[in-house]
Amino acid sequence: MNASDYGDDFFSQAEQTADLLAGLNPQQRRAAEILDGPLMILAGPGSGKTRVITHRVANMIHNGIRADQIVALTFTNKAAEELKNRIATLVPGSYVWAGTFHRFCSRLLRQYAPLVGLSENFSILDMDDVSRLLANAWAVADIADEFVSRNAVQSEISRAKNAIVTAEEYQGRAGNAVGKVTQQVYPIYQRMLLECNSVDFDDLLMWTAIILQQNEELRQSLDQRFAYIMVDEYQDTNLAQYAIVRSLSNDLPNLAITGDPDQSIYGWRGASIQNILGFEQDYPAVEVVRLEQNYRSTKAILSIADHLISNNKQRKAKKLISDSDQGDPVRSMVFPSPQEEADFIARDVSQLIADGIWEPKDIAIFYRANWLSRNLEHAFNGLGIPFQLVNGFEFYQRKEVKDLIAYLRLLNNPRNDLALERVINSPSRKIGKVTLDRLKASASGKRISLLEACRICGLDGSLPARSATSVARFVSEIDRLSELQTNSIQEYLQSVLQVTHYRAVLVAEDTEQAIERIANVDELISAAREFDNQHPEDGGLQAYLETAALVSDTDKLVDGDLSLKMMTMHAAKGLEFPCVYIVGLEEGILPHERSRESAAQIEEERRLFFVGITRAERQLTLCRCEGRMKRGQFWVSPPSSFLMELPSDELDIYDRKRGSKQIADSYNNDFSVGEDWIDSECGGATISIDDHSSLSKPSPKSSSFDVQALDATDVELDENQRDRSPKNFAKPTVPKPKGKLGSIVPKITTAAAMFGIGSKKGPAGAGDGSSEFRSGMMVEHPEYGPGKITSLSGAGAKEMATVQFYSVGEKKFRVKFSTLKPLG
């Protein structure tokens, strides 16, 4: 049914629709008008995708489609919340189900759990439980291979499940050690999961897909029931999700997907970019709408993004069009160490805030991995800038929070042995490893749950009397708690605290840590109260536990939170901020060390960077360090190869002058960079600062300023700032290289070595003459710094290399006589 089906109320309907869609551009409008049949919306970053989806849903409802026939599957709960709210604003009183795939599957699976051997009160294990259970399975399987890591097997199992390969079906590839071990462990692990009536994250998808595959009648009825399905971020769906969506959109193929292949960043989790690239083959009748108009970023930012992503081969060419102004050029900065990087950003940010340019909430900092936030936290704390870390598990990862939730899980699902294991001795009941092992042995011998084993341990002599008494006390506490009849989570938690004396024990401890834990317990309780308020009817233990299990980082972002945000680029997907900093743009971090194996992985890293860049609305600063501490030592980091793919003439480059005598000498001596800075007067050092223009015509004449170490932009931005923040005068926290650093980092003789890359061979061309260069290779030039070989031609003495430099753009060299060095 759509607007062209003239009904009695045609006029009013048409008017309403016109009204509703009035604010959309032609493409957006078209997408919102197609209600039936398969639809693919290719939406570039900032193209108003959410706006289109919400208006489309509103349009559906205006056209008489029942809200309960519509399902919107999103990637995060936050995205789902936003959809729901905005739809509710457009169509007051409507209720459209929106949620993550995992939540949707969890809901379905609860209804049909017996079909796969579960009961409806199954638990969803967190990552911690999963690795403990896997360790158990590992022990049972008695794995002898010490070269295969548990992590490798864990992700192999995960990959199998994402591809709907069950434990029975799984076959490791011949000659693959991980596969071989997985084949042994996976079935045991899976059996254990069933025994404790639990699923892991991947099971939610896999079981749902299997149920739909194996029960045609059920599939048909669900296909009818969910007549209209929308999938957001389709480029990040994996095979299991794909199978689920297809099963539910077969008889009624009213399936709308939105996505952007350039933002596919979950390949490592089994997402298949093929799902979106092949959508047109799946549904030949598909209507394709492209949203290419960007409403978010300045031209300067978009151009950077565009240059970067055009280096990917596996993509559908797409332009980002913008009507916005040019905006400030994107800054590219380099710092000696992460401490200085963080210091600079903290001061830069406080300046922006002091000048009233941005508020803290307008600013975000992105990085590749969570640990990269440490120095930033430090620096921000030092300047008293409010920030929020958006790595959301953190709270649920805390021991006390996990303990309390584990109690609830055990109450909800008495067969959850992992939850029992977690709580049986916290607070301490003097039940240790030996006792627990005996209980486990008893349980597996009798094929009963751990709780049952606990219950009978006093009778069957499986434990000495003293331990049995402790265990009996534990059982009676659990029994008392299970008698509780309430829907209020707050009440549940408080009962747990009371019956187990959990809080009393903490209070008695009276240490700083205990006080913090009590605070966390209180926070959990107020969160529970909040949950109780929001779910007066449909709540209950199970709903709460499900929520607790399926929260994600970004879900914790509250509208109206005024602090600055720090998060990974993965977490940043779907968000936008006026002012963005991306840190740690170094080879090995972005692209990540472990992505270097394949071109496909490198492309995914590039897309990740693309996602990061395109979050920025007005200002973007790209930062990297020349080195960082690793396992107690200072390691030099080369710049990310991605930086060299950006148009240097469009960037504002703040860089240490290459080839500057002083700097080069200090490198040459003993790699005593840190010493140099620390020893200089008031922590200062001689750094030369060059903007791009002087960099591009390198002259030996150095334009040095005596400025504080790393404080490159003080000169540029604000001379007074140093006076305002006393911290600036503190010694820079450059790690002081200790002892025999020189023996670890090779003697520095070339610019390549400056970046810490081994210079085992002599200068290129002076050696054996055979070329060690290949196209695409990272290289280093003493004068121009790092670069990337874009092409090679000729051979022998005539071999020419074209190199794209980060600093000065493209240069050509006779390979044989050049001073180019391989990098990496």
Partner DNA sequence: TATTCGCAAGTTTTT
Partner DNA sequence: CTTGCGAATA
Interface residue with DNA among 313, 447, 594, 740 (CB under 7 A) is 594
Cα distance between residue 566 and residue 662, in whole Å: 36
Element at 199 (helix H, strand E):
strand 198-199
Going by C-beta distance under 8 Å and a sequence separation of 6 or more, which residues neighbour residue 350? 383, 385, 725
Number of residues interacting with DNA: please give it, by CB under 7 A.
47
Nearer to DNA, 89 or 149 (CB): 149
x/- letters, 389..418, toward DNA (CB under 7 A): --xxx-------------------------
x/- letters, 6..35, toward DNA (CB under 7 A): ------------------------------
Q: How far is the CB of 66 from DNA (least distance, A)?
A: 26
Interface residue with DNA among 592, 724, 736, 816 (CB under 7 A) is 592
Residue 702 binds DNA (CB under 7 A) = no
Residue with tokens 């140093």: 722
**Parallel, antiparallel, or unpaired for β 123-124 and 198-199?**
parallel
Out of 50, 166, 601, 790, the active site residue is 50
Interface residue with DNA among 225, 316, 319, 430 (CB under 7 A) is 430
Phi, psi of 554 (to 5 degrees): -65, -20
**Parallel, antiparallel, or unpaired for β 387-389 and 704-708?**
unpaired
Interface residue with DNA among 103, 180, 422, 606 (CB under 7 A) is 103
Which range touches DNA (CB under 7 A), out of 96-104, 247-255, 256-264, 476-484? 96-104
Cα distance between residue 657 and residue 702, in whole Å: 8
x/- letters, 196..225, toward DNA (CB under 7 A): -----xx-----------------------
Out of 368, 615, 657, 788, the active site residue is 615
Interface residue with DNA among 444, 552, 725, 749 (CB under 7 A) is 552
Out of 29, 49, 503, 565, the active site residue is 49
Burial class (CB in 10 A: 0-12, 13-18, 19+), 318: middle
Cα distance between residue 804 and residue 472, in whole Å: 72
Interface residue with DNA among 595, 640, 641, 688 (CB under 7 A) is 595
Phi, psi of 96 (to 5 degrees): -110, 135
Q: What number of H helices and E strands is found in the chain?
A: 35, 26
**Residues 82, 110 contacting (CB under 8 angstroms):** no
Q: How far is the CB of 780 from DNA (least distance, A)?
A: 25
Nearer to DNA, 268 or 395 (CB): 268
Q: How far is the CB of 323 from DNA (least distance, A)?
A: 33
Q: How far is the CB of 99 from DNA (least distance, A)?
A: 9
Cα distance between residue 436 and residue 433, in whole Å: 5
Q: Is 150 a catalytic residue?
A: no
785: left (phi over 0), alpha (psi -120 to 50) or beta: left
Edge-to-edge strands, sheet with 684-690 = 387-389, 564-568, 363-367, 577-582, 616-625, 330-335, 651-656, 684-690, 704-708
Which range touches DNA (CB under 7 A), out of 431-439, 709-717, 778-786, 787-795? 431-439
Nearer to DNA, 602 or 685 (CB): 602
Q: How far is the CB of 275 from DNA (least distance, A)?
A: 16
Interface residue with DNA among 17, 312, 435, 807 (CB under 7 A) is 435
Out of 202, 232, 400, 626, the active site residue is 232
**Residues 565, 557 contacting (CB under 8 angstroms):** yes
Residues 40-79 that bind DNA (CB under 7 A): 75-76
Nearer to DNA, 147 or 770 (CB): 147
Residues 119-138 that bind DNA (CB under 7 A): 127, 135
Nearer to DNA, 269 or 361 (CB): 269
For 709-823, strand residue ranges (E) read 778-781, 785-793, 800-805, 809-814, 821-822
Interface residue with DNA among 47, 100, 412, 449 (CB under 7 A) is 100
Nearer to DNA, 399 or 798 (CB): 399
Output the furthest CA–CA distance in the chain (Å, rounded). 89
Cα distance between residue 417 and residue 657, in whole Å: 61
Residue 403: which of 130, 121, 129 has the closest Cα?
A: 129
Question: Token pair for residue 293?
Answer: 């108009």
Interface residue with DNA among 27, 337, 554, 708 (CB under 7 A) is 554
Residue 146 binds DNA (CB under 7 A) = no
Residue 701 binds DNA (CB under 7 A) = no
Residues 234-293 that bind DNA (CB under 7 A): 268-269
Q: How far is the CB of 460 from DNA (least distance, A)?
A: 15
Q: How far is the CB of 585 from DNA (least distance, A)?
A: 14
Residues 444-483 that bind DNA (CB under 7 A): 464, 467
Going by C-beta distance under 8 Å and a sequence separation of 6 or more, which residues neighbour residue 49? 41, 43, 232, 258, 291
Phi, psi of 616 (to 5 degrees): -80, 135
Which range touches DNA (CB under 7 A), out of 316-324, 430-438, 539-547, 617-625? 430-438
How long a stretch of residues is the chain?
824
Question: Token pair for residue 452?
Answer: 């049952």
Q: How far is the CB of 438 from DNA (least distance, A)?
A: 7
Q: How far is the CB of 557 from DNA (least distance, A)?
A: 11
Residue with tokens 């995060």: 76
Residues 629-688 that bind DNA (CB under 7 A): 629-632
Residue 431 binds DNA (CB under 7 A) = yes
Q: How far is the CB of 432 from DNA (least distance, A)?
A: 2
Q: How far is the CB of 805 from DNA (least distance, A)?
A: 27
Rg (CA), the chain: 30
Interface residue with DNA among 386, 432, 762, 794 (CB under 7 A) is 432
Nearer to DNA, 397 or 533 (CB): 397
Q: Is 440 a catalytic residue?
A: no
Cα distance between residue 13 and residue 6, in whole Å: 9
Burial class (CB in 10 A: 0-12, 13-18, 19+), 533: exposed
Cα distance between residue 326 and residue 241, in whole Å: 40
Q: Is 49 a catalytic residue?
A: yes
Q: Is 485 a catalytic residue?
A: no
Q: Is 597 a catalytic residue?
A: no
Nearer to DNA, 738 or 747 (CB): 738
Nearer to DNA, 112 or 268 (CB): 268
Q: How far is the CB of 75 from DNA (least distance, A)?
A: 7
Nearer to DNA, 433 or 697 (CB): 433
Residue with tokens 């709460």: 544
Residue 189 binds DNA (CB under 7 A) = no
Q: Is 510 a catalytic residue?
A: no
Residue 105: which of 258, 214, 235, 245 has the closest Cα?
A: 245
Q: How far is the CB of 646 from DNA (least distance, A)?
A: 21
Q: Is the dihedral of CA 337, 341, 346, 350 positive or negative?
A: positive
Out of 33, 126, 233, 417, the active site residue is 233
Nearer to DNA, 268 or 531 (CB): 268
Q: State the alpha helices, DSSP H only, in 257-315.
A: 274-277, 279-282, 299-309
Buried b (16+ CB within 10 A) or exposed e, 208-240: bbbbbeeeeebbeebbeebbbbbbbbbbbbbbb
Interface residue with DNA among 144, 174, 313, 433 (CB under 7 A) is 433
Question: Which stretches of the chain bind DNA, using CB under 7 A?
Answer: 75-76, 100-103, 127, 135, 149, 151, 201-202, 268-269, 368-371, 391-393, 425, 428, 430-435, 464, 467, 550, 552-555, 567-568, 570-571, 592, 594-595, 629-632
Catalytic residue numbers read: 49-50, 232-233, 263, 615
